[in-house]
Structure 1
Amino acid sequence: MAAQAVELEVAGRTVRLSSPDRVVFPQRGYTKRDVVEYYLAVGEGIFRSLRERPTTLQRFPEGIEGEMFFQKRVPARGVPPWIETAEIKFPSGRKADELCPADLAHVIWAAQMGTIVFHPWPVRKADVDLPDELRIDLDPQPGTDFHDAVEAAGTLREILDELGWIGYPKTSGGRGVHVYVRVKPEHPFVEVRRAAIALAREIERRRPQLVTTAWWKEERGTKVFVDYNQMARDRTIACAYSLRANARGTVSAPVSWDELPNVEPDDFDLRSMPGRFQKIGDPHATIDDVAHDIAPLLEWAERDDKAGTGGDLPYPPEYPKMPGEPKRVQPSKDRDRKTNG
């Protein structure tokens, strides 16, 4: 017999949890109740990641082995009156009202709706066109692994130290490493993306045998790709403390710089993270204490342009052609390159 729905009091709100015993992670036996209890246990951390950020929900209503979809629009019906949203604009020009968590109850409501992974925008509701978070995504390519991403992160840390900036690393929950830097919300997406490209090129310049900024997979080789397009509008990654939709139920886990070389992605999952959070708190607890000016990175971009080593890089395929963007054609299929080469 299916368990009856229960009501939870969260942040002064009542959230109804239906089908609490539905299995969400079959290989581990984790249920919907387990998912909700996980997000309650790390509530302070997950809310810090999502507070007032438009958030895309990666939903699995029947569990991670069932249908999956990304929800970018809050439904028009059946939504509690206290749910807050923010209007965002896609590269196509279309708009949508996305969930914009104002308290932990928003997170638990989303989990009740089958959300496993939370994908917030790098902006706040106050101005959804000006990013306040620079995200560096270190993505190991075939032949490399998490430890290569950690090594690349070490070089990034050196660069941030030279800038006088504070970066906050976390595991992706898979093979990669993410590093977040709070920045002043003074520049549009195209400029923050340009700053991300300049930073990525500096990492690549220092570690050319380890790191690449090549957008096309056929050109990346056995290296760690710095995915600069994570700073393009409407590109998001799993936030700190978000579960990942894999068999183990791993977590995108905030860690300290000193911890990073000594951890494995599987160290952090739905069962282990609550105890860690209770014991040490949130390694990202001070992330909102300072916001940096991206002017130095924009100066690097200008320097690279003048030296002939800069310029824009391709956008994701779903984007309209962007001003100044190079040809968006896979090199092996570029007829002009073949003719001139």
Structure 2
Amino acid sequence: MPEAPVELDVSGRSVRISSPSKPYFAALGLNKLQVAEYFLSVGPGILAALKDRPTTMERWPGGVSEASSLVSRENPEGDAFYQKRAPRGLPEWVRTATVKFPSGRGAEQVCPADLATVVWMVNLGTVRFHPWPVRAPQTELVDQLRIDLDPQPGTGFADAVVAARELREVLEQAGLTGFAKTSGGRGVHVFAPIVPCDFIAARHATIAIGRALARRLPQQVTVNWWKEERGARIFVDFNQMARDRLMTSAYSIRPTQAGRVSAPVTWDELPSVSPDDFTLLTMPDRFAQRGDVWAPLYATDPAPIDAALEWYDADAAADGGAEMPYPPEYPKMPGEPPRVQPSKKNPANWP
């Protein structure tokens, strides 16, 4: 006999959780209902991270186990998948917004306006949320600069922390205020509220800031797109600011058996924390004691990216080209260098 669903009262709205006892993080002994309860426990934080932002859902409808995996070209039989378009049959209270993909095609995405929508997304199997750096209805204007400090082989979280602390100073030099969080993995994410601008400008500002950081820490940080050139350094993944290249939201769950979450942290505590400190089991108590550590992010006045764009222009003037390769699924972009890794350059057509 099928298991009866559970109805949760979320701020006065009834949200159904189907198969509530289905194992979802079996290694932690947690079921689907408990995952929904986790998001309720950090409700103000997850809603602040997603509110009015078109959001891609990373759905794990069968839960997260050692055997589960994400669908990809190399793994078409995977259990989990990204859902970019809003599913059919939405409740009338679930809002959507139109976004445009790099191909130029548009799509309607779920755009959470309340915590009930977040819990409804969890019922679909969403454990990790990927919000756009825009707010509806202005979905062509970026309002957050998001910088991904990605450890390369031979480096780890401690190295990302060193880079993040130096990045904070670079952002201040550019007139921006940065806020840090763990990625849920080995990396660190730094967000800064900005005066809304287009995607290309936001990406160029990120490239310039990444270059400034790499100049300060040349042995520890790189902006080199090609893996063969990065070495054992922290990579500033500037293409995470390209259209539809989205970063994990604060309080999202990394779909691994450990159930780590992407945790906002203060700059003072960043050097002393570990990604393992923040999990489905530990974050509810931290949130109950501290609240949303990123509340100051949302209260900070946005700043213009003019200084960073001036740095970008200066780089262009100095070496004749500041643009960097775009992700492979993008059409050819203006000013972009050829998408050929350095070891495969042909001197005959690329001096």
Structures share a fold, TM > 0.5? yes
Counterpart residue number, 1:39: 39
Counterpart residue number, 2:19: 19
Moved more, 284-293 or 213-222: 284-293
Amino acid at match of 1:15: V
SS of the residue 1:7 aligns to: strand
1:271 partnered with 2:281: yes
1:207 partnered with 2:217: yes
Provide the C-alpha distance between the structure 2 equivalents of 1:127 and 1:8, rounded to a whole number of angstroms.
Answer: 32
Provide the C-alpha distance between the structure 1 equivalents of 2:9 and 2:297, rounded to a whole number of angstroms.
Answer: 28
1:122 partnered with 2:111: no
1:2 and 1:21 in contact (8 A); partners too: no
Equivalences for residues 112-261 of structure 1 within 5 A: 112-185=123-196, 187-261=197-271
2:254 and 2:262 in contact (8 A); partners too: yes
2:174 and 2:305 in contact (8 A); partners too: no
Provide the C-alpha distance between the structure 2 equivalents of 1:145 and 1:4, rounded to a whole number of angstroms.
Answer: 44
Provide the C-alpha distance between the structure 1 equivalents of 2:211 and 2:153, rounded to a whole number of angstroms.
Answer: 21
Q: Deviations over 1:239-278 (max 9, x none)?
A: 0011110110000000000010000001000010010001
Provide the C-alpha distance between the structure 1 equivalents of 2:348 and 2:246, rounded to a whole number of angstroms.
Answer: 32
Counterpart residue number, 2:57: 57
2:174 and 2:308 in contact (8 A); partners too: no
Provide the C-alpha distance between the structure 2 equivalents of 1:119 and 1:339, rounded to a whole number of angstroms.
Answer: 37
> How far off its partner does 1:14 sit?
1.1
How large is the RMSD of aligned CA atoms in angstroms?
1.4
Provide the C-alpha distance between the structure 2 equivalents of 1:200 and 1:91, rounded to a whole number of angstroms.
Answer: 23
> Normalising by structure 1, what TM-score?
0.96
2:176 and 2:194 in contact (8 A); partners too: no
Q: Deviations over 1:306-334 (max 9, x none)?
A: 11175100000010010100011122222
Provide the C-alpha distance between the structure 2 equivalents of 1:12 and 1:333, rounded to a whole number of angstroms.
Answer: 59
Provide the C-alpha distance between the structure 2 equivalents of 1:196 and 1:270, rounded to a whole number of angstroms.
Answer: 31
SS of the residue 2:118 aligns to: helix
Counterpart residue number, 1:331: 342
Amino acid at match of 1:25: F
SS of the residue 1:229 aligns to: helix
% same residue: 54
> How far off its partner does 1:11 sit?
2.5
Match of 1:292 among 294, 300, 303: 303
Provide the C-alpha distance between the structure 2 equivalents of 1:310 and 1:284, rounded to a whole number of angstroms.
Answer: 36
> How far off its partner does 1:2 sit?
5.9
> Normalising by structure 2, what TM-score?
0.94
1:311 partnered with 2:322: yes
Relative to structure 1, the CA distance from residue 297 to residue 312 in structure 2 (aligned partners, 3 Å threshold; closer, same or farther) is same
Q: Deviations over 1:66-98 (max 9, x none)?
A: 301000111122x21111000111001111110
Relative to structure 1, the CA distance from residue 271 to residue 156 in structure 2 (aligned partners, 3 Å threshold; closer, same or farther) is same
Provide the C-alpha distance between the structure 2 equivalents of 1:159 and 1:337, rounded to a whole number of angstroms.
Answer: 39
Counterpart residue number, 2:83: 71
Amino acid at match of 1:69: F
Counterpart residue number, 1:83: 94
> How far off its partner does 1:165 sit?
2.6
Provide the C-alpha distance between the structure 2 equivalents of 1:9 and 1:191, rounded to a whole number of angstroms.
Answer: 42
1:301 and 1:310 in contact (8 A); partners too: no
Amino acid at match of 2:119: I
2:171 and 2:209 in contact (8 A); partners too: no
> Unpaired segments of 5 or more residues in structure 1?
none
SS of the residue 2:109 aligns to: strand
Counterpart residue number, 2:7: 7
Moved over 6 A (4+): none
Amino acid at match of 2:232: T
Q: Deviations over 1:145-201 (max 9, x none)?
A: 00000000011012223344321100000000000001011x210111001000000
Relative to structure 1, the CA distance from residue 339 to residue 166 in structure 2 (aligned partners, 3 Å threshold; closer, same or farther) is closer
2:47 and 2:114 in contact (8 A); partners too: yes
Q: Deviations over 1:284-315 (max 9, x none)?
A: 10212210100010111111111117510000
Provide the C-alpha distance between the structure 2 equivalents of 1:319 and 1:57, rounded to a whole number of angstroms.
Answer: 21
**Aligned residues between the structures:** 338
SS of the residue 1:138 aligns to: strand
Counterpart residue number, 1:99: 110
